[in-house]
């Protein structure tokens, strides 16, 4: 089972930019960090993307959405499924970039 993702996580775009993590709930925590839930990453800013701007490319600046399978089918926090370390998503980069978890922020609590 993959770890549940918290605000202590490092989530990055494929070009090395870091997703700014802002939870929409703060009641459910693991090791003092709020748990991230489905929807928390949509619209999240990305800073430091190294994709150079050109007529055919654009750096990643925002997470568009997470992809199916990014959230638990069984575990919720404040009514929404929690995000898992196996999450993936799409950015607004051109061509579209992807996001992935470099570190989930904790490894003790896992879900599927």
The answer to whether residues 107 and 83 touch, using CB atoms and an 8 Å cutoff, is: no
pLDDT of residue 98: 98
Q: What is the full DSSP assignment across 39-63?
A: TSSTT-BEE------BTTBB---BE
Q: Which of 11, 12, 15, 10 is nearest to 59 (CA)?
A: 15
**Tally of CA atoms within 13 A in the half-sphere of 37 that contains its CB:** 16
pLDDT band at 58 (very low <50, low <70, confident <90, very high): very high
3-class DSSP state of 67 = coil
The answer to whether residues 6 and 34 touch, using CB atoms and an 8 Å cutoff, is: yes
pLDDT band at 8 (very low <50, low <70, confident <90, very high): very high
pLDDT of residue 13: 98
| Averaged pLDDT, 73-102 | 97
Please write the tens of the pLDDT for every residue from 59-87. Answer: 999 999 999 999 999 999 999 999 999 99
Please write the tens of the pLDDT for every residue from 32-52. Answer: 999 999 999 999 999 999 999
Tell me the pTM: 0.96
Q: Which of 24, 4, 13 is nearest to 84 (CA)?
A: 4
| Averaged pLDDT, 49-60 | 96
């Amino acid at each position: 089972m993959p770890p549940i993702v918290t605000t202590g996580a490092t989530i990055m775009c494929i070009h090395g930019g870091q997703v700014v993590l802002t939870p929409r709930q703060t009641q459910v925590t693991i090791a003092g960090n709020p748990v991230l839930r489905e929807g928390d990453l949509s619209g999240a800013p990305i800073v430091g993307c190294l994709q150079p701007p050109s007529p055919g490319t654009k750096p990643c600046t925002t997470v568009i959405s997470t992809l199916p399978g990014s959230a638990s089918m069984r575990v919720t926090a404040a009514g929404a499924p929690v995000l898992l370390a196996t999450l993936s998503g799409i950015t607004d980069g051109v061509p579209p970039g992807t996001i992935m978890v470099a570190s989930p922020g904790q490894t003790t609590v896992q879900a599927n």
